[in-house]
Amino acid sequence: MICRPQHAVYGGAFDPPTFGHINLILRASRLFDVLSVGVGHNFNKVSMFTAQERMHLLRESLQDCDNVRICSYDGLLVDFCRSQGAQVIIRGLRAIGDFEYEFQMGLANKDLAPEIETLFLIAAVDKLFLSSSVVKEIARCGRDIRQYVPACVADAVEAKIAKR
């Protein structure tokens, strides 16, 4: 008998959340009974938004997803996965550069937590170029980002930039 994993984790910085993130979350949420979205802290980057703000933006953007939980975490994604009782890590792939990095992380995660599988989802074709960094750069140059992020996120990005 083959049992389908019931719980997955999708972790990231989500600074800010984009339609690329939302697309992956929606697709993964259809594959699992529960999807925990982990808002992590990237120690190598200075964030535009606090973890609490990013969680709020994700919750606003995903109001209709009953099986999606938004949480924050520090440390390793596999440890967060275990704390949530999840059996699968979801990762998104946009380009070959993503694959190399994600492949290394997947191998490390498998070594640290052999019981947890990594599932790679390919980004939607119209989202291949989309990243939080690209969105922030476009916004800093005074251009509209509403085609790349939910309205609540665009408003929050614009407000942050206006304060600087």
- Annotated catalytic residues are 21, 45, 94, 132
- For the chain, how long is the longest CA-to-CA vector? 57
Count of helix runs (H) and strand runs (E) in the chain: 6, 5
3-class DSSP state for residue 129? coil
Q: Are 45 and 133 in contact (CB under 8 A)?
A: no
Provide the 10 A C-beta neighbour count for residue 67: 13
Q: How far is CA 95 from CA 45, 78, 90, 99, 118, in A?
A: 21, 23, 16, 7, 17
Both tokens assigned to 37? 């979205």
